[in-house]
Amino acid sequence: MKLKITKKEQAKKIKSRSKKADDKQKIILEILKTHGAKIYDDLDNGQFPKFSIPSRSVGNIVYDKQLRQYILGNNAALRSSRNSAQLRSFTQLMWLAFFANRLTTERKSSTLRDVYYSSQAFAVEFEDQSESDNIIVDLEAVTSRAREDFHIFPEERSSIFGDLNIEYTIPGYEGKTMNLANHPDGYSIGPSLTTAELVSTSAEIVIAIEKGGLFTRFVEEQVDKKFKSIILNTGGQAPRSTRTLLKRLHDEMKLPVICLTDGDVYGEHIAMVIKSGSANAAHLRELTVPDAKWVGVWATDIEKYKLPTIPMTESDIKRCYDLQKDPRYQDGIWKKELDVFLKLKRKAELEAFSKYGLTNITDKYLPQKLELAKSL
């Protein structure tokens, strides 16, 4: 669908979005500056510099029924340069704040892996990337801003396809438009797409699928046209950039979000994380779609459709018991299906519907589930 706007209107839109990006950049830099000023204040007052970091311990993570997601409580821990045991992590956090400031100022992007290797140029040591990633989460907790606001992103592994017109906002591409149905392999969900302006769509729903193989099948079978949908491959547990885009599609484009996962406890939890977030990201508020609906593959579908199954592992069973303690799995379809998984001790993949033909899942199962979603 072509966008009919004049050059003058286009220039005005670009200017407006550029100002919006500039304003956001100023806010992020001011946050970093404020925390940096506290370090200087400590030094001026003859004190050891320190950070107050919201505690991410299990005891400080609570489920907020109103927000319908996990949030951090009020407990905080002091990380001080005076404590020799904390000096390493304190220095790492100081360097990361400096690096985040540099990325934001220069408007350059970095992957999580880049952060790990970049530290070595400054003689800042991380034992491995997991330690580096953990310090990034500390910075998020301290500033109450997502790493993506500092231009730090994970490796891309999710993709999207469908009639959605976007307009890029990243430097060098401002004002350029793209329709996400233009490439049969879909488009990777990276920084440029996550931050793009969502202009228009003819879609009426978003279908988030756990697996790339089924994503390809849905594109081939033109699910986007048959069901007026945008198809999104989460690539397993959805990365935060993908969850951000799902939230934007729901909030800005007013599109319902439907989740399709493997018929196992991990698939159920993938849908729950899209809906209400994870305990690991309890310090962030902009990653959830509370109205998202999980429509399958349910444990009851395994019996109903007589799907080929494989036995649940001890790890699967343990995960079921763990989730039974989670307040989000105490009622409704979430509790019911978890109980049935434990009863069956079997699981099924989305591809199991191929037993009835390659297009059975799009021709029969999907229409039934989309209709059912209206009543969930």
* All residues at 6 or more sequence positions from 88 whose CB lies less than 8 Å from its CB, including other chains: 125
Tell me, what's the pLDDT at 15?
75
- Residues annotated as catalytic are 117
State the pLDDT confidence band at 156, using cuts at 50, 70 and 90.
Answer: confident
Residue 181 contacts residue 161 (beta carbons within 8 Å): yes
pLDDT in tens, 344-366: 999 999 999 999 999 999 999 99
State the pLDDT confidence band at 179, using cuts at 50, 70 and 90.
Answer: very high
Residue 148 contacts residue 244 (beta carbons within 8 Å): yes
Tell me, what's the pLDDT at 206?
98
123 and 211 both lie in a single domain: no
Give the residue-averaged pLDDT of 99-112. Answer: 94
Query: Does residue 121 belong to any structural domain of this protein?
Result: yes
Higher pLDDT pick, 17 / 188? 188
pLDDT in tens, 36-46: 999 999 999 99
Tell me, what's the pLDDT at 201?
97
* All residues at 6 or more sequence positions from 304 whose CB lies less than 8 Å from its CB, including other chains: none
Instruction: Kindly provide the b/e burial profile for residues 207-245, where b requires at least 16 CB atoms within 10 angstroms of the residue's own CB.
Output: bbbbbbebbbbbbebebbeebebbbbbbbbbbbbbbbbb
Residue 129 contacts residue 112 (beta carbons within 8 Å): yes
210 and 357 both lie in a single domain: yes
pLDDT in tens, 128-152: 999 999 999 999 999 999 999 999 9
* 137 token code pair: 């989460």
Within 10 angstroms of residue 350's Cβ, the number of other Cβ atoms is: 22
Bridge partners for 167 per DSSP: 177, 197
Q: Identity (one letter) of the amino acid at 67? A: L
pLDDT in tens, 46-82: 999 999 999 999 899 999 999 999 999 999 999 999 9
Query: Does residue 232 belong to any structural domain of this protein?
Result: yes
State the pLDDT confidence band at 1, using cuts at 50, 70 and 90.
Answer: very low
State the pLDDT confidence band at 280, using cuts at 50, 70 and 90.
Answer: confident
Tell me, what's the pLDDT at 39?
95
At 86, phi and psi to the nearest 5?
Answer: -105, -5
Query: Does residue 42 belong to any structural domain of this protein?
Result: yes
Measured between alpha carbons, how far is 372 from 302 in angstroms, rounded to an integer? 17
Tell me, what's the pLDDT at 4?
57
Tell me, what's the pLDDT at 169?
87
84 and 227 both lie in a single domain: no
Among residues 93, 119, 153, which one ends one of the domains? 153
* 333 token code pair: 């379809």
For the domain that residue 321 is a member of, what is the CATH number? Answer: 3.40.1360.10
Measured between alpha carbons, how far is 272 from 333 in angstroms, rounded to an integer? 11
Residue 333 contacts residue 326 (beta carbons within 8 Å): no
The total number of structural domains in the chain stands at 2
Question: Between the CA of residue 309 and those of 29, 259, 278, 369, what are the distances in Å?
Answer: 52, 21, 28, 20
Q: Is the pLDDT of residue 335 over 70?
A: yes
51 and 132 both lie in a single domain: yes
State the pLDDT confidence band at 181, using cuts at 50, 70 and 90.
Answer: very high
113 and 232 both lie in a single domain: no
Q: What is the mean pLDDT of the chain?
A: 93
Residue 252 contacts residue 233 (beta carbons within 8 Å): no
Query: Does residue 174 belong to any structural domain of this protein?
Result: no
Residue 51 contacts residue 140 (beta carbons within 8 Å): no
For the domain that residue 39 is a member of, what is the CATH number? Answer: 1.10.10.10
State the pLDDT confidence band at 5, using cuts at 50, 70 and 90.
Answer: low
Measured between alpha carbons, how far is 317 from 329 in angstroms, rounded to an integer? 15
Of the ranges 9-23, 25-39, 106-120, 182-196, which one carries the lowest mean pLDDT score? 9-23
Name which of 228, 230, 250, 242 is nearest 186 in CA terms: 230
Query: Does residue 188 belong to any structural domain of this protein?
Result: no
Maximum separation of any 2 CA atoms in the chain, in Å = 74
140 and 281 both lie in a single domain: no
134 and 253 both lie in a single domain: no
123 and 214 both lie in a single domain: no
Q: Which domain holds residue 346?
A: 202-373
Residue 189 contacts residue 156 (beta carbons within 8 Å): yes
Give the residue-averaged pLDDT of 202-213. Answer: 96
pLDDT in tens, 232-241: 999 999 999 9
Query: Does residue 192 belong to any structural domain of this protein?
Result: no
Tell me, what's the pLDDT at 2?
45
Helix 129-143 / helix 87-106 crossing angle, nearest 10 deg: 70
Query: Does residue 128 belong to any structural domain of this protein?
Result: yes
Name which of 364, 349, 223, 355 is nearest 297 in CA terms: 349
Query: Does residue 287 belong to any structural domain of this protein?
Result: yes
Among residues 132, 153, 174, which one ends one of the domains? 153
84 and 209 both lie in a single domain: no
DSSP 147: G
